[in-house]
Every structure is written in structure tokens, then in C-alpha cells.
Structure 1
């Protein structure tokens, strides 16, 4: 019963970040069979239901749509799951890691071994909620003004934790990767936070799925050369091969 409750809680957490989750993807994330999840949803009262092969919020308990971190939050779930596996494989005992606010973050947290001891620094509610479930994670949440549309905390003090804490790894998400315009995202405050995190880390990892290449958004983060490694679900387009730093993809079985 305890394991069932834990699985349901993780599904509820994920559905705070997206509108729907395919049953197959949920089973892979939780490392159980699709039938197990079906039984969980039937046996345990919760705020999520199975509808047409997708796990969604129960409309009886959710009278309105909540915010979505990004405009297309529910898309590319399989790719984000794969990126999460790749990123989690890089986290080692004793690491001090910055986790960005992107929708891939819950998938990274899901794949981190519960026995691993590490410190996590984040400045978004979605990252905090995903990482708080890790029993050996020392979790630091940067404070500030809460932005509802992206669950982000913008610092209001002169100096923030991002400027005071040196990490050895930082996972940075982006909405666009372009040869001329560099790496971009939707929000200017997010871009500033990403820049601060990159300035205080030893290794900066860019997490993007293949759909982000040749895309440009309004808020500039950095040039591609500012990152040590790009983590992607597929090989990058040929035009990017000479511009990319180390590329990490297709090294784990999906």
C-alpha cells in the first residue's frame, strides 16, 4: 500500500507540471508495468485518473486549468524522460548541483538514485517539488518573488543564493538553440538566473530535445561555446556539429 501511495503521489507531482502523461511513459518512469499503474488508479483514491491511455487530472477535482510552465509543457514527454536519464547519470556522490526550472527537471529527479547524497540548488517550485522526494538530497531553494506562469522565484535582494553558492554542475534548459543567436529562452528573469548559475559552476550542461534546434526565443542566455556539454535525445543537425561543445546522446537505452 505504501508503494502504491508513493507512485500515485509521483504521478500527481508530474501532473502539476503538465496536462497529461501517457500511461506507457508513466510506467517507464516509475519502473513498473502499465497494469500496475492501472490497478493503482483503480484501488487508490487520488486526484488523477486514466482517460484514453493518458493519465490526467480528475476534472471533478480540478475545475480549472492550472498554470503551465511553458506553452507546450505536455509535449515531447518521451524525449524529456530520456534527457532525464542522461542527466541523472552524471550526478555523483557529494556533487553540488544547480537545477534549472525547465519541464525536464522532474524527469531528472525521478532517475536519481535515492541513496545518492548530493546538494541541490534551485530557484523554481517545480524543481523543488521534484527534488524534495530524494531522501539524501540537501535542498536549497532560492527565495524571491513568485511568478505564477512559470513557477519561478525571482530574487528581490541585492545578492541571491545563486551568486553566493559555487556548484560543480549546472543543468540548464532552453527553448531555442541557434547558430547565430545562441541559446535562448522565453523569459528574461529566467535567462538572468541561468547566466548567474553558469558563472558559478564548474560544468554547465545544456539540456534540449531535438525540437529546440534552429529555434530562437526572445531572452538570450549564452553562446553555445559557454556550455561544456550539450545533452540531447538525438544527434544534432549537421549544421551544428562544428559549433557544439561535447554532445551527449544515444548513450543509454531508451
Structure 2
């Protein structure tokens, strides 16, 4: 199979781990190709993805009962998360030791990292782990703890964890709210504690978020925008963000 076709099919397979179906038009927009190109890809593909009634779905004949649970946030702003993931994935280099935060955006980063890159991944959520363990040259370390079905997050149950023992070169930190005045926030206090520890232990703290999080504030405080070495977003940010010193990466 052509490498470009294979790459597109793999992205569709990943997206279908997050949702039940994708409209053909939306898939074309996300992959930046024509609907006809995707139709042609699927007509010659013998994998687990098929086109039914204008929607791309998992092949019913090859589906199984072990599919990963779908959370509400993972079905929102998919195209935007794909764009953020693409930008962030390009930052990962050979030899990196990378922390992957929880949150619905982070698996979109992991899925788009070039499979030839050799790196170590440290993660604290099952959804990120499931994607990273498929990378052939990725050494994955999963932080342990109490598992929450609500957000697929593992909360540490002991004082010292893997995060204390490992210094990372990069840390991808997700957010539910990004505000110039009130900083970076998320929904869960335990998540915020882990994010903060990961930021302290890394060489480069990278905030990843789509534009729907801008000017939103949630209950759990993570930190000021100035604490991040780089901001990655799918769209150009409002002018007020020019007041912060952190570099900003957009499409």
C-alpha cells in the first residue's frame, strides 16, 4: 500500500477509536484531501475501516468487543485537535523523553508522531498509553495509581511516583481553559497537581490546546501562561496573548 494512503487509513482508524463514525466530508477536511481521494483509499483498503452511507465506520465484520471507551470530550473539536496534534507531534525528536498529559487532545499528538522516531514516553492516562504502545520505537512508561473511568486518568496513591524519578526533555500539558489573566486551568484538582509536577521536572513545558479553550476558566488552577516555554494552538490567538513572553506555535 502507498505510504500516503497507509498514513491516511491509520489516522482514520485512530479517529474511530474516539468516536463511532466520521462523515466523509469531515474526514476529507481533517486529512486535507478530497472526498474522492478518501473514497479511493477505502475502496482499495482491506483493513478495518469502511464507507457506509456517507460515513466512515469500523468494518462490522472485523469489529470486536474490546474497543476503548469513548468520552464526551473526545468527540468535540476533532479537526482542531488533529491540527494541534500535528503541530505538537513535529516537535518530538530522536532521543527525547516526553511526558504526555491526560486530556482528549493528547492522543492526537501521540498518533501523529513519526513511527521512525526513537523516544521514551511517560504518560499518566490510558488513552495516551494505548496510542503510544503502538509506536514501534517508543519506550512507554505508564505512571501507576487509582484509575478514574471519568477521565481515563491514573491518580498517584503514593508520595513518590515515576514523575519524581524521571526528568523529561518535553512535557505536553493539556488544558480545559486558557486565559491571559487567570492562567491555565483544568476540571480536576488531581490532574492539576500532576500537570504542575510534570512542568517542574521537564526541560520544555509545552501547552497544547485548541481555540475553544481560549478565554475559558475552569476550577483547577495549573499555572500562569508565563510558566510555559511554548504554546501550541490550532488558530492564531487574540492580540492580548502578545503580552505574554512565551512563544506561540499555530498553523
Alignment TM-score, normalising by the size of structure 1 = 0.82
CA distance in 2, matches of 1:145, 1:7: 35
Aligned residue for 1:185? 186
Deviation digits for residues 147-166 of structure 1 (CA, Å, limit 9, x no counterpart): 11211111112211112110
Aligned residue for 1:242? 243
CA distance in 2, matches of 1:175, 1:76: 13
- Aligned 1:1-254 pairs, distance under 5 A: 11-23=12-24, 26=27, 33-39=37-43, 46=48, 50-51=51-52, 53-56=54-57, 67-69=69-71, 71-243=72-244, 245-250=246-251
Indicate the SS of the match to 1:239.
Answer: helix
Indicate the SS of the match to 2:222.
Answer: strand
Distance 1:211 1:7, change over 3 A: closer
Moved more, 142-151 or 5-14: 5-14
Moved more, 138-147 or 19-28: 19-28
Deviation at 1:73, TM superposition (A): 2.3
Alignment TM-score, normalising by the size of structure 2 = 0.83
Deviation at 1:88, TM superposition (A): 1.1
Question: 1:170·1:197 contact (CA, 8 Å) conserved in 2?
Answer: yes
CA distance in 2, matches of 1:36, 1:6: 14
CA distance in 2, matches of 1:22, 1:122: 31
CA distance in 2, matches of 1:238, 1:130: 35
CA distance in 1, matches of 2:98, 2:108: 15
Indicate the SS of the match to 1:17.
Answer: coil
- Segments of 5+ residues of structure 1 without an aligned counterpart are none
CA distance in 2, matches of 1:130, 1:123: 13
Distance 1:195 1:52, change over 3 A: farther
Distance 1:31 1:141, change over 3 A: farther
Indicate the SS of the match to 2:202.
Answer: coil
Indicate the SS of the match to 1:203.
Answer: strand
Moved more, 220-229 or 50-59: 50-59
CA distance in 2, matches of 1:107, 1:24: 19
CA distance in 2, matches of 1:247, 1:7: 28
Moved more, 182-191 or 53-62: 53-62
Indicate the SS of the match to 1:119.
Answer: strand
Distance 1:90 1:11, change over 3 A: same
Distance 1:34 1:9, change over 3 A: closer
Indicate the SS of the match to 2:104.
Answer: coil
Deviation digits for residues 112-144 of structure 1 (CA, Å, limit 9, x no counterpart): 111111111101111111111111111111111
Deviation at 1:76, TM superposition (A): 1.5
Distance 1:217 1:51, change over 3 A: farther
